[in-house]
Structure 1
Amino acid sequence: MDFIEVALKVSPDFADIFTAEMGELGFDAFEDTAEGFNAYIDEDKFDQRELDNMLARYAGYVTAEYQVQKIERQNWNTEWERNFEPLFIGGQVSVRASFHEKPAEAKYDIVINPKMSFGTGHHETTTLMIENQLTLDHQGKRVLDMGCGTGILAIMAGELGASEIVAVEIEDWTVENARENAELNGYGNIDVRLGGAETIEGDQPYDIILANINRNVLLDDMPAYVAVLKPAGTLLLSGFYTEDLPALQERAEELGLTYVSHRTKNNWVSAIFKNS
């Protein structure tokens, strides 16, 4: 399967808004550029009319230009090797590609070869999730990562001592990539599943559930998460904006969860909730 790259020129004030909007259209990998950002989507999912209609809704507020090109899957490594920069998160976590050296000061070291999957740590939501994970006791815990992308959060759970980890993704090639990254980091025992919330129905309860997806999916699927969350278990969410937090909090409280805390970065949010 080949990919479509949309190189969007837009002001920083609207970059996050368009990232979220394009996520709703099926784009699932993004990289910042000097003039805006590039977004990527499977070729068979790309609908230029949907993209044009979305941009037209903002025509009176911002000027946006874009260019489209097809990227062959086998050439993706060249693209991300050229642009992938190593990260250091929370003063403890190194996130790097296999061709980068491990920082000597890293307490945790995660190697990610993304292959078009979302979750290299460069997006604010992934960084926020990892920062929140660092505050949670994972030792010996059973952990679920919904919308796992590259598998970075599941791998982080392993680094923090989780004993059982399940990761779920809706794209077969993303599942393949998450499994490869899990193996690369020594966590080949992570159970990576293809599908959505239906794949966890009837599972043994989890101590920690991680879900970095988007506002609408989180609102729709939160009951499925709570159904397999242990009493006093933790639900950690991201993929939404500051203005969306009240809706997520209201939904969580309807399901018997208690808001604990949240952190923000560039208007993106990661929030922690506790089960009763």
Structure 2
Amino acid sequence: MDFIKVALKASPEFTDILTAEMGELGFDAFEDTPEGFNAYIDENRFSQEQLDDMLARYADLAQVEYQVQKIERQNWNEEWERNFEPLFIADQVSVRASFHEKPANARYDIVINPKMSFGTGHHETTTLMIENQLTLDHQGKRVLDMGCGTGILAIMAGELGASEIVAVEIEDWTVENARENAELNNYASIDVRLGGAETIEGDQPYDIILANINRNVLLEDMPAYVAVLKPGGTLLLSGFYTEDLPALQERATELGLAYVSHRTKNNWVSAIFKYS
């Protein structure tokens, strides 16, 4: 399968809005550039007409310019190797590719070879999720990672002492990548599943559920998460903006979840809820 890359230039104040809009169109990997961002999508899910219609609404306001490029699957490694810089989160967590040297001062060292999957830690939502994970007791816990992407959050759960970890993704090549990264970090025991919320129906309850997806999916699938969350368990969400937080809080309250806290970065949010 090949990929479509959209290199987009826009006014800085519209970057977050356009990222969210493209996420709604199915783009699921993003990287910042000095003048905007690059967005990636499977070729078979790309619609030039939908992209044109969406961007036309912002053309004048956001001064949008963009180019569409096809990237062959076999050339993806070259693409991300050119752009993937090592990252240090919360002065504790090193996120790097296998061709980067291991830092000496990292408490946790995670190696990620993304291969077109979302989640290198560079996006605000992944960073926020890891920062919130660091505040939770994972020791001996059963953890679920919905929309796992590269598997970075599931691997972080392993680093923090989780005893059982399930990760779920909707794309077969992403599942393959998450399994590769799990093995690369010595967590081959992580159960990586292909599918959506239906794959967790009837599971044994989880102590912690991680879901870094997007506003609409979170609102739709939150009942499925709560159905497999232990009383007293924690639901950690991200993939949405500050203006979306009230809607997520309202939905959570309807389902018996209590809001605990949230943190933000560049208008992105990661929120913690407890199941009473």
TM-score higher than 0.5 = yes
How far is 1:62 from its partner? 1.4
Q: Which moved more, 1:242-251 or 1:23-32?
A: 23-32
Match of 2:136 in 1: 136
The aligned residue for residue 23 of structure 2 is 23
In 2, Cα distance between equivalents of 1:77 and 1:93: 23
Alignment of 1:37-186 (within 5 A): 37-186=37-186
CA distance in 1, matches of 2:259, 2:246: 10
Aligned to 2:210: 210
Unpaired runs of at least 5, structure 2: none
Aligned length: 276
Aligned letter for 1:55? L
Match of 2:190? Answer: 190
Alignment pair present for 1:256 and 2:252 = no
Aligned amino acid, residue 199 of structure 1 = T
Alignment correspondent of 1:14? 14
Determine the C-alpha separation between the residues in 2 that align with 1:14 and 1:178: 31
Q: How far 1:63 sits from its partner (Å)?
A: 1.1
Q: d(CA) in 1 for partners of 2:34 and 2:60?
A: 23
- What letter corresponds to residue 49 of structure 1 in structure 2? E
The one-letter code of the counterpart of 2:141 is: K
Distance 1:165 1:237 in 2: 17
Distance 2:32 2:272 in 1: 27
Identity of aligned residues (%): 89
Match of 1:220 in 2: 220
Q: TM-score when scaled to structure 1?
A: 0.99
Alignment-mate amino acid for residue 188 of structure 1: A
Q: Give the 3-state SS of the residue equivalent to 1:15 in structure 2.
A: helix
Single out whichever of 214-223 and 26-35 deviates more from structure 2.
26-35
- Alignment partners' CA distance in 2, 1:65 and 1:57: 13
- Residue 12 of structure 1 deviates from its aligned partner by 1.6
The 2-side partners of 1:237 and 1:80 are apart by 26
Q: Report the AA paired with residue 99 of structure 1.
A: F
Q: Could you tell me the TM-score, scaled by structure 2's length?
A: 0.99
1:34, distance to aligned residue in structure 2 (A) = 1.2
Shift of 1:61: 2.0
- In the TM superposition, what is the alpha-carbon distance from 1:152 to its structure 2 partner? 0.1
Matched residues in 2 for 1:191 and 1:261: separation?
29
2:78 match: secondary structure: helix
Given residue 100 of structure 2, which amino acid in structure 1 is its aligned partner?
Answer: H
Provide the residue aligned with 1:234 in structure 2: 234
SS at match of 1:138: coil
CA deviation profile, 1:26-83 (whole Å, cap 9, x unmatched):
1111111111111111111110110111112223421101001111111111111111
Aligned-partner Cα distance in 2 for 1:243–1:60: 24
Partner of residue 270, structure 1: 270
Matched residue SS, 2:81: helix
Assess, with a 3 A threshold, how the Cα gap between structure 1 residues 163 and 90 changes in structure 2: closer, same or farther. same
Shift of residue 15, structure 1, vs aligned partner? 1.0
Q: Residues 79-117 of structure 1, C-alpha deviation per residue, up to 9 Å, x if partnerless? A: 111110000001100000000011111000000000000
User: What CA RMSD, in Å, does the superposition of the two structures yield over aligned residues?
Assistant: 0.6
Q: What one-letter code is carried by the residue in structure 2 that aligns with 1:159?
A: E
C-alpha distance in 2, partners of 1:8/1:38?
6
The residue type equivalent to 2:249 in the other structure is Q
